[in-house]
């Protein structure tokens, strides 16, 4: 009888753990809330002295930990891919460019995502806002990647009032179009985030990802918001940009207030950051950092970031460890006690003890950055390896390629003012080779920059209705072209032609051929 009771107790504890409950006296898993700004400049938050009012983001910084060396990708889709998967977006074919409406790429079927990991651990999962990781086939959408609830838009550059991209309606809830014309998108995102929190199943923890559209273009804000910044110049949309950041901060405040009303603020881990640096032509300010969105100087990739979890993190603290957006998945999973499937490789590392206890950061491999935006053939690259950072600007022409190389001691020179490539040519050469080796991992059919649609492409009327449902797609598919190892080797420097499993099989067959043995014919 005692054995049976003990077995029942163990089963109950396992069930409680899987659903986020805790046994008496044990801490329950926290709620996790990610707030992602879009194109927010390094200097455009109040806690850095900005003229833009951001009291709610500032509150997170005062009550949490400022992550002062947090790196995103220089453009949006790669950051979101890294956030969702913990993988290097280059390996996913999404490093050089964003996903334009005329592209049909996106996350692959069965991708291991942060939402899926938290869902498997018993969390209720939701996404509000911008997806931008695929829009043409059902398996690319949020609901196929671990999000039980999705209210938002699939594209970037979606009109804030008409909710359209390329003239096609782009606002939906779980695959069904939602018509809210005239309502400002940031207000919609605030309302839907609060609705998710207040209508949640209070018996389970939640994972909520709020991907704000603001302050990304088109540069639009309510008139009263723009009037609050009438003292700012209109040049480069600075006045409207400030209003958009202000409205986003108010949305952050509404979400934080809902946590307070629900009595769960102290039991919710909140991470806020931007998907890349600000874009000067649309009002962003990254001073004193060099560069902007689309570039691999610090202003394009080093972004405002704060994390708050009352009672677990020291209020008002700051850490200067290098943290990549690829680290978010393993770090938040570690903080929440969410197990990760061990046979699904991650490129990010767990930084939780470094953030929460001030411990030394784990050793890490170099991290890389790339962008081919806004000009096709103008490629911005960088690698950070310890205290060194190499920046390359590659201009691909029809008959020649020009490369500008700059080397910085990034910890001593975060403003990237002193190029050391001539003083340390051996370091520059070593890091340049690392970039070449890294770029060879990119799928050859991955996304590369195009400014306009492919010939013959036209937009649908409604993006939600234009998605190809899974029932019309093959459950699995294999490229039947006659690849050979010689072909793969010949194209290796340009990228990955086939997946790793296919490569291994070709190598096995070649080895078999050299040994004189071949499988019997059937």
In angstroms, the CA 361 to CA 411 distance is 15
Number of Cβ within 10 Å of residue 353's Cβ equals 15
Residues serving a catalytic function are 76, 132
In angstroms, the CA 475 to CA 158 distance is 31
In angstroms, the CA 256 to CA 265 distance is 7
496, 483 contact by CB (below 8 A) = no
* DSSP letter, residue 496: B
- Please, what sign has the CA dihedral across residues 16, 21, 24, 26? positive
70: helix, strand or coil: strand
In angstroms, the CA 135 to CA 171 distance is 12
In angstroms, the CA 394 to CA 382 distance is 11
Which of 130, 149, 172 lies closest to 35, judged by CA?
Answer: 130
In angstroms, the CA 152 to CA 177 distance is 10
Which of 49, 30, 47, 103 lies closest to 337, judged by CA?
Answer: 30
Q: In the β-sheet with 176-177, what is the strand arrangement from edge to edge?
A: 176-177, 172-173, 149-153, 124-130, 206-211, 31-37, 268-274, 305-308, 65-67, 317-319
**Phi/psi at 394 (5° precision):** -105, 130
Burial of 508 (0-12, 13-18, 19+ CB in 10 A): exposed
Angle between helix 76-85 and 328-336 (nearest 10): 40
Q: What is the Rg, in whole angstroms, of the alpha carbon atoms belonging to the chain? A: 24
Write out the two tokens for 269. 């881990």
């Amino acid at each position: 009888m005692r054995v049976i009771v003990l077995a029942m107790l163990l089963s109950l504890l396992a069930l409680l753990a899987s659903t986020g409950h805790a046994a008496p006296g044990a801490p329950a898993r926290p709620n996790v809330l990610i707030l992602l700004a879009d194109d927010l400049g390094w200097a455009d938050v109040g806690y850095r002295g900005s003229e833009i009012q951001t009291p709610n983001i500032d509150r997170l910084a005062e009550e949490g930990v400022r992550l002062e060396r947090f790196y995103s990708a220089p453009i949006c889709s790669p950051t979101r891919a890294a956030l969702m998967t913990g993988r290097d977006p280059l390996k996913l074919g999404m490093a050089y460019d964003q996903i334009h409406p005329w592209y049909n790429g996106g996350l692959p079927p069965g991708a291991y995502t942060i939402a899926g990991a938290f869902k498997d651990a018993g969390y209720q999962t939701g996404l509000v806002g911008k997806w931008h990781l695929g829009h043409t086939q059902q398996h690319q959408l949020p609901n196929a990647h671990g999000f039980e609830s999705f209210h938002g838009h699939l594209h970037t550059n979606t009109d804030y009032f008409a909710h359209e991209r390329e003239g096609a309606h782009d606002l939906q809830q779980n695959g069904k179009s939602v018509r809210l014309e005239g309502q400002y998108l940031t207000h919609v995102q605030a309302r839907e985030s609060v609705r998710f929190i207040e209508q949640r199943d209070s018996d389970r923890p939640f994972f909520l990802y709020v991907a704000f559209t603001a302050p990304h273009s088109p540069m639009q804000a309510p008139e009263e918001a723009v009037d609050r910044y009438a003292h700012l110049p209109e040049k480069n949309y600075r006045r409207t940009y400030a209003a958009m950041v202000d409205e986003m901060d108010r949305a952050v405040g509404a979400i934080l207030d809902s946590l307070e009303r629900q009595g769960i603020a102290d039991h919710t881990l909140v991470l806020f950051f931007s998907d890349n640096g600000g874009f000067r032509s649309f009002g962003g300010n990254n001073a004193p950092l060099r560069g902007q969105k689309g570039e691999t100087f610090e202003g394009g990739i080093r972004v405002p970031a704060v994390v708050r979890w009352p009672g677990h993190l020291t209020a008002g603290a700051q850490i200067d460890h290098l943290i990549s957006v690829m680290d978010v998945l393993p770090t938040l999973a570690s903080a929440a006690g969410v197990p990760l499937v061990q046979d699904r490789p991650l490129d990010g590392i767990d930084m939780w003890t470094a953030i929460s206890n001030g411990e030394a950061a784990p050793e890490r491999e170099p991290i890389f950055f790339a962008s081919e935006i806004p000009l096709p053939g103008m490629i911005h690259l960088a690698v950070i390896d310890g205290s060194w950072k190499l920046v390359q600007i590659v201009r691909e022409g029809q008959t020649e390629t020009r490369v500008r190389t700059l080397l910085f001691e990034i910890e001593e020179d975060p403003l990237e003012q002193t190029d050391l490539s001539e003083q340390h040519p051996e370091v520059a050469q070593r890091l340049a080779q690392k970039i070449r080796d890294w770029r060879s991992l990119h799928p050859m059919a991955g996304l590369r920059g195009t400014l306009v649609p492919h010939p013959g492409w036209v937009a649908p009327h409604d993006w939600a209705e234009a998605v190809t449902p899974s029932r019309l797609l093959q459950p699995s598919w294999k490229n039947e072209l006659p690849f050979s190892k010689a072909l793969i080797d010949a194209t290796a420097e340009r990228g990955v032609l086939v997946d790793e499993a296919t490569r291994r099989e070709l190598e096995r067959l070649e080895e078999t051929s050299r040994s004189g043995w071949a499988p019997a014919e059937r």
